[in-house]
Amino acid sequence: MEEDKENKFGADVEVTDWGPLKITGDFRIKDLKRDTEDSPAEILLCLCGKSGIKPLCDESCKK
Amino acid sequence: MEREDKKYSSERKYRNKDITVYWKPSACVHASYCYRELIEVFDPGRRPWVDMSGSTTSRIIEVVNMCPTEALSWKWNDDEKNKNIEIDQLNHVKFRRPELMNINESDQEENTVSVKILANGPIIIRGNFTFSYQGIKKEIYGGLISICRCGASDHMPFCDGRHRKIDFID
């Protein structure tokens, strides 16, 4: 059963309690501004607008 | 999703001599294809925000068909023509066509979730994925969500278009 479930949903997307958006699993990320494309296993994306390394989180939200 | 509940709320209409464009605000995820492509017609800063005199019917149809949600749709004013509509023109009424949305995209692997970071805008996530927010996990199948990236949305964690008002630059 567990396996079926994993096949059904490619990725898990979570708005973390502490700030960024965490995406894990099978996904492809395209950054249209910087024109980059990647398929990492996990990524933390800035949601607060304050990160210095957007679109990634640099934990500015914690400060 | 919360947005789903509002799906049937009010719809606005804009006409030119050939077609009527339908706008469902509650279904909009601010993917912003419409105004990036055709600001002459779709200008969020203007009231009313749709000006059907701003372009040709064929161009308006083309851009309405880019809308990734049911927020924008269109129909011929002449109902006879709606019966004979070509399948590739069909975005309107209740049919969603993910296969046409993906037509220019290379990421066709069946289960790979598409995550797009729009320039100075939201994160658009599409596909089959689970979505967790405040401890609640939802399973989204063949769905599309738009996540706020500027921190200013009144509809967190979803984009409500405010990044434009605060001039969010990423």
Question: What digits encode the pLDDT tens for the residues B52-97?
Answer: 999 999 999 988 988 877 789 888 999 888 877 665 455 443 334 3
Count of pairs with CB atoms under 8 A, one residue in A, one in B: 106
Spatial distance between the Cα atoms of B149 and B94, rounded to a whole number of angstroms: 30
- To the nearest 10°, report the CA torsion of B46, B18, B96, B164: -10
Give residue B101's pLDDT band: very low, low, confident or very high (50, 70, 90): very low
Residue A6 pLDDT exceeds 60: no
Instruction: State the average pLDDT over residues A26-53.
Output: 95
Q: How many Å separate Cα B97 from the centre of its chain? A: 12
- % of chain B with per-residue pLDDT over 70: 79
Residue A20 pLDDT exceeds 50: yes
Pairing mode of beta strands B113-117, B123-133: antiparallel
- Report pLDDT for B81: 85
Q: What's the ipTM?
A: 0.89
- Report pLDDT for B92: 40
Spatial distance between the Cα atoms of A43 and A54, rounded to a whole number of angstroms: 12
One-letter identity of residue B42: F
Spatial distance between the Cα atoms of A61 and A41, rounded to a whole number of angstroms: 23
- Report pLDDT for B149: 95
Distance (Å) from the alpha carbon of B44 to chain A's nearest alpha carbon = 21
Residue B7 pLDDT exceeds 50: no
Spatial distance between the Cα atoms of B68 and B114, rounded to a whole number of angstroms: 13
Spatial distance between the Cα atoms of B49 and B63, rounded to a whole number of angstroms: 15
Q: Do A21 and B157 touch (CB under 8 A)?
A: yes
- Chain A contact probe: residue of B129, B140, B163 with most A CBs at under 10 A: B129
Is B107 an interface residue toward A (CB < 8 Å)? yes
Residue B3 pLDDT exceeds 70: no
Spatial distance between the Cα atoms of B65 and A31, rounded to a whole number of angstroms: 23
Q: What mean pLDDT value characterizes chain B?
A: 80
Spatial distance between the Cα atoms of B115 and B53, rounded to a whole number of angstroms: 34
Instruction: State the average pLDDT over residues B40-53.
Output: 93
Distance (Å) from the alpha carbon of B93 to chain A's nearest alpha carbon = 28
Is B138 an interface residue toward A (CB < 8 Å)? no
Residue B99 pLDDT exceeds 60: no
Instruction: State the average pLDDT over residues B127-137.
Output: 90
Residue A43 pLDDT exceeds 60: yes
